[in-house]
């Protein structure tokens, strides 16, 4: 009997149903991965709530953060993107998008190719397993694939909890902080201490920040931010006005303001504050505000007359993903990455996972839900 696998299928926002599809032998340039863990990202929740369009149209398999083992390799696929031999059974991470390499954005070295989800098809279109919430995922040409670095003794390999969010959340933060440039000794303000913000505290410190200040409204998140390297935290309940928070950052920078601010809240209303937290010539990077049409008031004067840089970043380049894995391996004893994934659900309980994750988000819990198919 032919092998089949389950996939969660969404017909738009809201409930998903579990369907069974044949697991086809991979085409010459494809690989079939047996998914071992997929995590629920903030953008998955945005799609589930109908706040932004899903990756692909029609009935699709959602999800994009995942890891797993090579189940079957196409005849022509012999190495990962770094040229290292790839074998069935190898643990891998991979990008969830495929830059086309041939459009104006790609040819200009922009990370955000407008056609990067063009190979996402409906669940009924072979090879069916186009998303993350399924037993399998089919890697297609153009997706970067990297072996998960193995521990020399094999006893201390990176667990799935650390690896699964690497292709989205961690890589996104790493690339954003690279693009906005951390100078040695910078004061970096992180607006929002959710999953992205906690990664950002650790990455900014490791990139040479002198001082990291995390802002959030949930005390538990701020406690975690300190565990992830933040030197100071701002509790919105204790400093409820923008003026107080600006003063707090100025007091910690001899009146200058921060060198860098990173927006990872998803709340457009924080953007003006982000500008005001910066010194003259400071650099502002926006990552979290991804919902189309969500607007906020900004005073352009505070960009121009203070000569501040403002940068939006989505997506990343191929080099980011293997460095994200090496970063985890190097610093896993230093920062509690394992706390970022707290709840695990079998694939059949995907709807409960989303409901719980949505509730956790509204309550301010940072924990990511994981699907273990
Ligand atoms: Zn994501
Ligand atoms: Zn392109």
**Chain segment 277-299, per-residue pLDDT in tens:** 999 999 999 999 988 899 999 99
pLDDT of residue 305: 96
Q: Give the rounded percent of residues in the chain with a pLDDT score beyond 90.
A: 87
Task: Give the span between the Cα atoms of 258 and 252, in whole angstroms.
Answer: 9
Query: Using CA atoms in the order 194, 180, 117, 13, what is the torsion angle rounded to 10 degrees?
Result: 30
Is the distance from CB of 281 to CB of 298 less than 8 angstroms?
A: no
Is 90 exceeded by the pLDDT of residue 214? yes
Handedness of CA 300, 302, 304, 308 (dihedral sign): negative
Distance 164 CA to ligand 1 centre (A): 10
pLDDT of residue 299: 97
Is 80 exceeded by the pLDDT of residue 44? yes
pLDDT higher at 203 or 153: 203
pLDDT of residue 368: 86
Residue 152 pLDDT grade (very low, low, confident, very high; cuts 50, 70, 90): confident
Q: Which residues contact 305 (CB under 8 A, 6 or more apart)?
A: none
The average pLDDT across 109-136 equals 94
Q: Which ligand is nearest to the CA of 167?
A: 1
Cβ of 312: how many Cβ atoms within 10 Å?
A: 14
The SS3 of residue 138 is strand
Distance 3 CA to ligand 2 centre (A): 35
Please give the distance of CA 53 from its chain centroid, rounded to a whole number.
17
Distance 317 CA to ligand 2 centre (A): 12
Q: Which residues contact 152 (CB under 8 A, 6 or more apart)?
A: none
Residue 361 pLDDT grade (very low, low, confident, very high; cuts 50, 70, 90): confident
pLDDT of residue 242: 98
Residue 366 pLDDT grade (very low, low, confident, very high; cuts 50, 70, 90): low
Distance 30 CA to ligand 1 centre (A): 23
Q: Which ligand is nearest to the CA of 172?
A: 1
> Burial of 342 by CB count in 10 Å (0-12 exposed, 13-18 middle, 19+ buried)?
middle
316 token code pair: 């990343």
Distance 250 CA to ligand 1 centre (A): 33
Task: Report every protein residue that has its C-beta within 5 angstroms of ion ligand 2.
Answer: 100, 103, 106, 113
Mean pLDDT over each residue of the chain, to the nearest integer: 94
The average pLDDT across 15-27 equals 97
Residue 334 pLDDT grade (very low, low, confident, very high; cuts 50, 70, 90): very high
Is 70 exceeded by the pLDDT of residue 115? yes
Distance 96 CA to ligand 2 centre (A): 14
371 token code pair: 């699907």
Lowest mean pLDDT of 11-25, 106-120, 240-254, name the range. 106-120
Q: What distances in angstroms separate CA 274 from CA 3, 26, 298, 364, one per listed residue?
A: 52, 47, 10, 20
Is 80 exceeded by the pLDDT of residue 56? no
pLDDT of residue 353: 95
Task: Give the span between the Cα atoms of 139 and 130, in whole angstroms.
Answer: 8
Distance 348 CA to ligand 1 centre (A): 21
254 token code pair: 């001899």
Task: Give the span between the Cα atoms of 212 and 188, in whole angstroms.
Answer: 5
Residue 1 pLDDT grade (very low, low, confident, very high; cuts 50, 70, 90): low
Distance 109 CA to ligand 2 centre (A): 9
Q: Tell me the β-bridge partners of 215.
A: 191, 234
Is 70 exceeded by the pLDDT of residue 266? yes
Domain at 4-158+332-371: CATH architecture: Alpha-Beta Complex (3.90)
Domain segments of the chain as ranges: 4-158+332-371, 170-312
84, containing H or E segment: none
Distance 52 CA to ligand 2 centre (A): 21
- What's the angle, vertex CA 17, arms to CA 15 and CA 23, rounded to 5? 140
215, containing H or E segment: strand 211-216
Distance 173 CA to ligand 2 centre (A): 22
As a whole number of Å, the end-to-end CA separation of the chain is 21
Is the distance from CB of 221 to CB of 363 less than 8 angstroms?
A: no
Distance 108 CA to ligand 2 centre (A): 9
Task: Give the span between the Cα atoms of 31 and 96, in whole angstroms.
Answer: 14
Q: What is the DSSP letter of 165?
A: G
Most confident by average pLDDT, 43-47, 50-54, 198-202, 358-362: 198-202
Q: Which ligand is nearest to the CA of 64?
A: 1
Is 80 exceeded by the pLDDT of residue 54? no
Distance 9 CA to ligand 2 centre (A): 27
pLDDT of residue 363: 75
Distance 312 CA to ligand 2 centre (A): 18
Task: Give the span between the Cα atoms of 350 and 17, in whole angstroms.
Answer: 9
What is the chain's alpha carbon radius of gyration, rounded to the nearest angstrom? 21
* Long-range own/partner contacts, residues 100-107 (CB < 8 A, 24 or more apart): 100/142, 101/142
Is the distance from CB of 42 to CB of 361 less than 8 angstroms?
A: yes
Task: Give the span between the Cα atoms of 8 and 348, in whole angstroms.
Answer: 8
pLDDT higher at 138 or 51: 138
Residue 364 pLDDT grade (very low, low, confident, very high; cuts 50, 70, 90): low
Residues in the chain: 373
Distance 189 CA to ligand 1 centre (A): 22
Q: Among residues 205, 70, 54, 217, which one has the least CA distance to residue 145? A: 70
Is the distance from CB of 238 to CB of 245 less than 8 angstroms?
A: no
The correct answer on CATH 2.60.120.280 for the domain covering 170-312 is no
Distance 105 CA to ligand 2 centre (A): 6
pLDDT of residue 20: 98
Distance 357 CA to ligand 2 centre (A): 33
Q: Which ligand is nearest to the CA of 103?
A: 2
């Amino acid at each position: 009997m032919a092998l089949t696998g389950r996939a969660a299928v969404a017909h738009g926002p809201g409930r998903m149903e579990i369907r069974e599809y044949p697991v086809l032998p991979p085409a010459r340039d494809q690989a079939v991965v047996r998914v071992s863990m997929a995590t629920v990202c903030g953008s998955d929740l945005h799609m589930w709530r109908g706040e932004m369009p899903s990756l692909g149209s029609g009935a699709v398999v959602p999800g994009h953060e995942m890891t797993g083992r090579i189940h079957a390799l196409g005849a022509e696929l012999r190495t990962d993107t770094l040229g290292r031999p790839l074998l069935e059974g190898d643990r891998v991470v991979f990008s969830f998008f495929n830059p086309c390499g041939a459009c104006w954005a790609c040819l200009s070295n922009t990370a955000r190719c407008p056609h990067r989800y063009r190979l996402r098809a409906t669940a009924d279109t072979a090879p069916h397993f186009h998303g993350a919430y399924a037993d399998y995922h089919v890697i297609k040409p153009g997706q970067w694939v990297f072996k998960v670095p193995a521990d020399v003794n094999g006893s201390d390999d990176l667990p799935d909890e650390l690896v699964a969010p690497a292709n989205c959340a961690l890589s996104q933060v790493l690339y954003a902080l690279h693009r906005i440039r951390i100078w040695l000794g910078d004061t970096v303000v992180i607006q929002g201490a959710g999953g992205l913000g906690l990664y950002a505290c650790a990455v900014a410190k490791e990139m040479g920040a002198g001082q990291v200040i995390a802002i959030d409204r949930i005390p538990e998140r701020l406690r975690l931010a300190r565990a992830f390297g933040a030197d100071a935290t701002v509790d919105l309940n204790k400093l409820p006005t923008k003026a107080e928070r600006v003063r707090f950052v100025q007091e910690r920078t001899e009146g200058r303001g921060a060198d860098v601010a990173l927006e990872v809240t998803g709340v457009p209303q924080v953007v003006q504050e982000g500008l005001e937290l910066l010194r003259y010539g400071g650099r502002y990077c926006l990552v979290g505000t991804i919902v189309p049409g969500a607007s906020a008031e900004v005073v352009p004067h505070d960009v121009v007359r203070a000569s501040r840089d403002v940068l939006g970043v989505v997506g990343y380049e191929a080099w980011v993903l293997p460095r994200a894995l090496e970063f985890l391996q190097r610093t896993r004893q230093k920062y509690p990455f394992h706390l970022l994934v707290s709840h695990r659900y079998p694939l059949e309980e995907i709807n409960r996972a989303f409901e719980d994750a949505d509730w956790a988000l509204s309550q301010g819990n940072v924990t990511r839900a994981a699907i273990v198919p």
